[in-house]
Chain A
Amino acid sequence: MLEIILDPSFLASIPRFVTPILLAALGGAICERAGVFNIGLEGMMLTGAFFAVLGSYFGGSVYVGALAAVLSGMAMGAIFAEFNLRRGGDPIVVSIAVNLLAAGLTTFLLRAIFDVAGAFRDPAIGGFGPIDIPGLAALPAIGQLLSGQSLLFYVSLVLVLALHVFFARHRLGLRIRAAGENPAGLTAGGVSPNRVRLAALLMCGALCGLAGAQLSIANVNLFVENMSAGRGWIAVVAVLLTRGRPLPLFFIASLFGAVDSLSFRVQGFGLPQQFTDMMPYLATLVVLTVLSWIRLQRAR
Chain B
Amino acid sequence: MRASLEHISVDFGPVKAVDDVSFGVAAGEIHAIVGENGAGKSTLMNVLFGLVRPNNGRILIDGDERVWNSPQDAIEAGLGMVHQHFMLQDDMTVLENIVLCSEPANALGFVNFTAARNRIRDGFSQHGISIDLNARVGDLGVGQRQIVEILKVLYRDARLIILDEPTAVLTPQEKDRLFAILHSFATDRRSIIIITHKLDEVMEVADRVSVMRGGRLVSSGSLLKTTKERMARDIVGGELPPPLRRSARAPGRVVLSVRDLRVKGHMPVGPLSLDVGAGEIVGIAGVSGNGQSELIQAITGLRRASGEIRLDGKRVDNMDVAGRRGAGMSYIPEDRQRTGLALGASVSENANAGRDDVGRFSKGPFLDRKAMADFARGLIDRYRIKAAGPRALASTLSGGNKQKLVVGRELSRSTPLVIAENPTWGVDIGAIELIHAELLRMRDAGHAILLVSTELDEILTLSDRIFVIYAGALSDEIPASSADRQKIGMLMTSRRTATKVEA
Contacts and interface: CB of A to CB of B under 8 A. Distances in A.
Contacts of B110: 169-171
Contacts of A186: 100-101
Contact of A181 (B71, B81, B91): B91
B238 interface: no
Interface string B62-98: 0000000011100110000101010111111000110
Nearest to B104: A171
A126 B105 CA distance: 40
Interface in B108-140: 109-111, 113
A171 B112 CA distance: 10
B101 A190 contact: yes
B102 interface: yes
B92 A177 contact: yes
B100 A185 contact: yes
B103 interface: yes
Given A169-B111, A172-B109, A190-B70, A182 B103 contact: no
A187 B109 CA distance: 20
A170 B89 contact: no
A191 interface: yes
Given A188-B81, A189-B75, A171 B105 contact: yes
Given A178-B100, A182-B87, A184-B87, A190 B109 contact: no
Interface string A162-184: 00000001111011011001101
A177 B89 contact: yes
Nearest to A191: B101
Contacts of A300: 264
Given A169-B113, A189-B100, A191-B101, A182 B71 contact: no
A110 to B, nearest CB: 39
A229 B182 CA distance: 61
A177 B109 contact: no
Contacts of A182: 87-90
Interface residues of B, number: 28
Contacts of B71: 187-190
Contacts of A188: 71, 81, 83, 87
Contacts of A172: 109
Contacts of B88: 182, 185
Contacts, number: 68
Nearest to B91: A181
Given A184-B87, A190-B101, A191-B101, A170 B72 contact: no
A25 B161 CA distance: 43
A175 B70 CA distance: 18
Nearest to B152: A189
B91 A174 contact: no
A57 B100 CA distance: 45
Interface in A117-154: none
A174 B105 CA distance: 12
Given A185-B87, A189-B102, A170 B111 contact: yes
A170 to B, nearest CB: 5
Contacts of B92: 174, 177-178, 181
A182 B149 CA distance: 14
Nearest to B82: A188
A178 B111 CA distance: 15
Given A170-B110, A189-B100, A190-B101, A178 B89 contact: yes
A184 B71 CA distance: 12
A178 to B, nearest CB: 5
Contacts of B96: 174
A182 B72 CA distance: 18
Given A169-B113, A189-B75, A190-B75, A175 B101 contact: yes
A168 to B, nearest CB: 9
Nearest to A181: B89
Interface string A190-220: 1100000000000000000000000000000
Contacts of B152: 189
Nearest to B96: A174
A17 B347 CA distance: 57
A91 B92 CA distance: 26
B348 to A, nearest CB: 31
B100 A175 contact: yes
Contacts of B76: 190
A32 to B, nearest CB: 13
B91 A190 contact: no
A286 B97 CA distance: 37
A227 B444 CA distance: 75
B111 A177 contact: no
Interface in B152-184: 152
Nearest to A190: B72
Instruction: Tell which of B89, B90, B113 has the most Cβ of chain A within 10 Å.
Output: B89
Contacts of B90: 181-182
A223 B99 CA distance: 47
Contacts of A171: 103, 105, 109-111
B101 A189 contact: yes
Q: Which of A174, A177, A181, A184 neighbours the largest number of chain B CB atoms within 10 Å of its CB? A: A174
A246 B230 CA distance: 60
Contacts of A187: 71, 87
Interface in B391-447: none
A258 to B, nearest CB: 31
A175 B96 CA distance: 10
Contacts of B109: 170-172
A189 B76 CA distance: 10
Contact of A185 (B72, B89, B102, B113): B89
A170 B106 CA distance: 10
B219 to A, nearest CB: 30
Interface string B38-77: 0000000000000000000000000000000011100110
Nearest to B156: A189
Contacts of A189: 71, 75, 87, 100-102, 152
A170 B83 CA distance: 26
A177 B101 contact: no
B70 A174 contact: no
B88 to A, nearest CB: 6
Interface in B2-36: none
Return the 5 tightest CB-CB contacts between A and B, nearest first.
A189-B101, A190-B72, A185-B87, A188-B87, A171-B103
27 contacts: A170-B109, A170-B110, A170-B111, A171-B103, A174-B92, A174-B96, A174-B100, A174-B103, A177-B92, A178-B101, A181-B89, A181-B92, A182-B89, A184-B87, A185-B97, A185-B100, A187-B87, A188-B83, A188-B87, A189-B87, A189-B152, A190-B75, A190-B76, A190-B101, A191-B72, A191-B101, A300-B264
Given A175-B100, A189-B101, 14 more contacts: A169-B110, A170-B105, A171-B103, A178-B89, A178-B92, A181-B91, A182-B90, A184-B87, A185-B88, A186-B101, A187-B71, A190-B71, A190-B75, A191-B72
Interface of B: 70-72, 75-76, 81, 83, 85, 87-92, 96-97, 99-103, 105, 109-111, 113, 152, 264
